[in-house]
Amino acid sequence: MRVSAEFDAASFVEKAVEELRRRIGDRRAIIAVSGGVDSTTCAALTYRAIGRDLVCVFIDTGFMRKGEPEEVYRRLTAPPLNLPLKLIRAKDRFFKALKGLSDAEQKRMAFRKTFYEVLSEEARKEGCTVLVQGTIAPDWIETLGGIKTQHNILEQLGVDTAKEYGFDLVEPLVDLYKDQVRAVARYLGAPVEVSERQPFPGPGLSVRAVGEITEEKVEVAREASWIVEERLKEFKPSQYFAAVFEDERVDSDRHLKQEIARMLKLSEDELQLYCFKARATGVKGDARAYGKIVGLEGWRRLEGGVDVDLFDMAVKRLVHWDPEVTRVLCAVTERRHGKYAVAIRAVITRDFMTAKVARLPWEVLMEVGKKILERCPAVSQVFYDVTSKPPATVEFE
Is 11's pLDDT higher than 60?
A: yes
**Per-residue model confidence as pLDDT tens digits over 88-142:** 999 999 999 999 999 998 999 999 999 999 999 999 999 999 999 999 988 888 7
Of 159-163, 279-283, 345-349, the poorest mean pLDDT is in 159-163
- Mean pLDDT score across all residues of the chain: 90
Better pLDDT: 384 or 3: 384
Q: What is the pTM of this model?
A: 0.87
pLDDT value for 206: 97
Question: Residue 7, exposed/middle/buried by CB under 10 A (0-12, 13-18, 19+)?
Answer: middle
Q: Which region, left, alpha or beta, applies to residue 322 given φ > 0 means left and ψ of -120 to 50 means alpha?
A: beta
Confidence bin at 4 (pLDDT 50/70/90): very low
Is residue 395 in some structural domain? no
Is 43's pLDDT higher than 50?
A: yes
Is residue 392 in some structural domain? no
Is residue 393 in some structural domain? no
Same domain, 261 and 178: no
Same domain, 68 and 91: yes
Same domain, 36 and 14: yes
Is 327's pLDDT higher than 80?
A: yes
pLDDT value for 113: 92
Same domain, 51 and 183: yes
Same domain, 223 and 245: yes
Distance, CA of 312 to CA of 296 (rounded, Å): 13
| Largest Cα span, the chain | 71
Is residue 2 in some structural domain? no
Continuous segment of H or E residues that includes residue 380: strand 379-385
- 233: Cβ contacts below 8 Å, ≥ 6 apart: 240
Among 109, 102, 106, 111, which residue's Cα sits nearest to residue 32? 111
pLDDT value for 317: 84
> What's the gap between Cα 101 and its chain centre?
19
Q: How far is CA 203 from CA 59, 98, 149, in A?
A: 11, 11, 11
The parent domain of residue 322 ranges over: 208-385
For residues 159 and 116, the answer to whether their CB atoms sit within 8 Å is no
Give how many domains the chain has, as a whole number: 2
Same domain, 169 and 313: no
Residue 13, φ and ψ in degrees, nearest 5: -60, -45
Is residue 200 in some structural domain? no
Is 302's pLDDT higher than 50?
A: no
pLDDT value for 146: 52
- CATH no. for residue 218? 3.30.300.10
Better pLDDT: 148 or 185: 185
Domain boundary among 170, 195, 220: 195
Domain boundary among 148, 171, 195: 195
Report the percent of the chain where pLDDT is more than 70.
92
Same domain, 261 and 172: no
Of 96-100, 252-256, 276-280, 340-344, the poorest mean pLDDT is in 252-256
Confidence bin at 267 (pLDDT 50/70/90): confident
Domain boundary among 140, 164, 195: 195
Over range 157-178, report the average pLDDT: 85
Q: How far is CA 109 from CA 149, 162, 167, 202, 215, in A?
A: 7, 19, 20, 12, 19
Over range 269-295, report the average pLDDT: 89
**Which residue type sits at 96?**
K
Is 272's pLDDT higher than 70?
A: yes
Better pLDDT: 71 or 287: 71
- 276: Cβ contacts below 8 Å, ≥ 6 apart: 245, 246, 247, 248, 249, 250, 292, 293, 294, 295, 341
Same domain, 156 and 262: no
